A and B are shown apart, each in its own frame.
Chain A
Amino acid sequence: MATRLLSGNRAERGGEMAIHAVLLGASVISIATTVGIVFVLLSESLRFFDLVSVWDFLTGTVWTPLFRPAHFGVLPLVAGTVLVAGIAIIVAAPVGLFTAIFLSEYAPDRFRRIVKPMLEILAGVPTVVYGYFALTFVTPLLQRWLLPDMIIFNALSAGLVMGVMIIPIVSSLTEDAMLAVPRSLREAAYALGATKFEVATRVVTPAALSGIVAAVILGLSRAIGETMLVTIAAGATPRLTLNPTESVQTMTAYIVQVSFGETPQGTPVYYTIFSVGLLLFVMTLAMNILGQWVVRRWRQAY
């Protein structure tokens, strides 16, 4: 007995140690990458802010880093980003919510089993495909039937298609939140003579509200960070406007433009991609923190 008990701690044997090291290593990779990205963004941005003041950068209304005289006011890029992402969320929030309500409260099992995978396919379509879909299908369609004067690169079709693109994110997170609402609450309302619609809108939706808001915020965060679609379809004109039929440039599209251009390293233009990237990072990070805060703060006790 004593020999068996004292035969060595399994956790200290070679195999266990190796597995422990591999698992730790895997998680360290992602942590190290994140830290590295933040470090590069910060250090390169600091060099940019040696050349241009933070105040001028954040409040300037003209963005012409590639021309003379060069202006480094980031607001036009922010406006373009907010405009496209705003259109996207106006499309995705209601459609995603209704889809989720339908899937969790109305759809028979068989239907759900067809629609869920289709939504996942929608989420798996490469964003470049959405970009060309916006440019070569949605824009001509809008020009033909609604807005004949609209130019080919515009915020509207990019926003609309981006909205469709993030529907799966919004609807699937919302549906998760709705499915987490206990059955007993639905039964309580049904037993009081509530109709299906009343149960969905007045019991399930409020109970799942924190999850729904988080889903919308995460969708918005995805829309702000989306690059390929807007680079292809929204244009390359930094313009301080909220008119959706105009050509704009988003922060991500600008970074692509400069990264692919022949910008010499060390010039102010080169450093702009880091400062714009840092601002983008701060914006999406703020969104994600806000989303998590909302989930915690508004979580309804049931």
Chain B
Amino acid sequence: MTHQQTEHANNGMAPEASITAAAMDGALTAHDGAVTAAVGAAAPERPPAPDRPISLRTENMSLYYGDFRALRDITVGIPERTVTAIIGASGCGKSSFLRSFNRMNDLIPNARIEGIVEMSGVPIYDRRVDVAELRRAVGMVFQRPNPLPLSIYENIAYGPRRRGVRNRADLDGIVQRCLTQAALWDEVKDKLKQPGNELSGGQQQRLCIARTLAVEPDVILMDEPCSALDPASTLRIEELMQELGHEYTILVVTHNMQQAARVSEMTAFLNMAEDRAGALVEFGPTSEIFTNPQEKTTEDYITGRFS
């Protein structure tokens, strides 16, 4: 994988090559795990979000469902270890865009991607890519909490078990670490054997986040993770997103402008063109998108002139 990344970086055009190479370094340090992460959290002097290495990159990406073009020519570079919000009206392709990064769209018959989609410089739609491995590197949290019909413990252990972790002590450690990271450990530590779907909605969603952390992803995709939750649970998840944003590249689709403003450092605004295909209108630091948008449509959307 490293070899392939290097090759790709060298083959790219000059400015991109430097970005991709940097992204590769970033990916490598992320793999070192908790130690690096802890150091990263302790050292506050991070470069501003737009200057961070690129984790996910698309170039002229289009997505088709059969003959229908759902996304048109999207070119964007998502910085690593940053919370990036994706905003836009309903049906403009935000979820489709998100699902392009873990190839969840593969599950839909007739779905087809054109253009470049890369993670840490690796073209993820390359035939050599192991999709299961990609989905471990790019975790996902869904709109409705969807714990597996298993115990709390087994929900977390599911991913590691698929990867071949069998040792009970190792699994115990992973379960405790991930539940702690997802701010759920104290609430469930005495009932790990209970079914995951008996928790409250907010707890279930944190369980789903913990489950995603257990496969040690670099990127976490979140598809309106709070839309089915009450305000208190929403607040907890938002705090969690901000914390995790120091260690993980988080891409979050949201309909809630305040949420985008609160949790994200970068914001991408998608809009539907006349032919109903979603296109990227504007991408930049959240503060600028919200206070000084460059495009009229962005301003209209943010100020609520249309939804």
Contact residues of A with B, CB < 8 Å? 108-109, 182, 184-195, 198, 203, 206-207, 300-302
Q: Which of B102, B109, B135 is the one whose CB lies under 8 Å from A108? A: B109
Find chain A residues with CB under 8 A from B144 CB.
Answer: 184
Q: Which of A182, A185, A192, A207 is the one whose CB lies under 8 Å from B212? A: A192
Task: Tell me whether A302 and B107 are in contact in the complex, defined as CB-CB below 8 angstroms, given that A189-B158, A191-B102, A192-B211 are known contacts.
Answer: no
**Which of A182, A187, A189, A191: most chain B Cβ within 10 A?**
A191
Q: Once the chains bind, are B135 and A190 in contact (CB under 8 Å)?
A: yes
**How far apart sit A216 and B203, CA to CA, in the bound complex (Å)?**
37
Q: How far is the CB of A25 from chain B (nearest CB, A)?
A: 44
8 more contacts with CB within 8 A, not counting A187-B140, A191-B142, A193-B162, are: A185-B146, A187-B146, A189-B158, A191-B102, A191-B104, A192-B136, A193-B159, A302-B197
Q: Once the chains bind, are B135 and A193 in contact (CB under 8 Å)?
A: yes
Q: How far is the CB of B157 from chain A (nearest CB, A)?
A: 11
Find chain A residues with CB under 8 A from B273 CB.
Answer: none
Is B115 an interface residue when CB atoms closer than 8 A count as contact? no
The residues in B between 100 and 142 inclusive whose CB is less than 8 angstroms from any CB of A are 102, 104, 107, 109, 132-133, 135-136, 139-140, 142
Q: Once the chains bind, are A193 and B215 in contact (CB under 8 Å)?
A: yes
Find chain B residues with CB under 8 A from A185 CB.
Answer: 146, 148-149
Q: Once the chains bind, are B197 and A184 in contact (CB under 8 Å)?
A: no
Find chain B residues with CB under 8 A from A198 CB.
Answer: 162
**How far apart sit A203 and B132, CA to CA, in the bound complex (Å)?**
16
Task: Tell me whether A184 and B159 are in contact in the complex, defined as CB-CB below 8 angstroms, given that A191-B212, A193-B215, A301-B149 are known contacts.
Answer: no
Q: Once the chains bind, are B142 and A192 in contact (CB under 8 Å)?
A: no
Is B79 an interface residue when CB atoms closer than 8 A count as contact? no
Q: Once the chains bind, are A301 and B197 in contact (CB under 8 Å)?
A: yes
Q: Across the A-B interface, give the 7 residue pairs with the lowest CB-CB distance, nearest first.
A: A193-B136, A184-B146, A191-B140, A192-B159, A193-B132, A188-B146, A193-B135
Q: Once the chains bind, are B107 and A187 in contact (CB under 8 Å)?
A: yes
**Which of B104, B158, B211, B212: most chain A Cβ within 10 A?**
B158
Quick one: closest B residue to A195, CB to CB?
A: B132
**How far apart sit A203 and B159, CA to CA, in the bound complex (Å)?**
12
**How far apart sit A184 and B205, CA to CA, in the bound complex (Å)?**
13
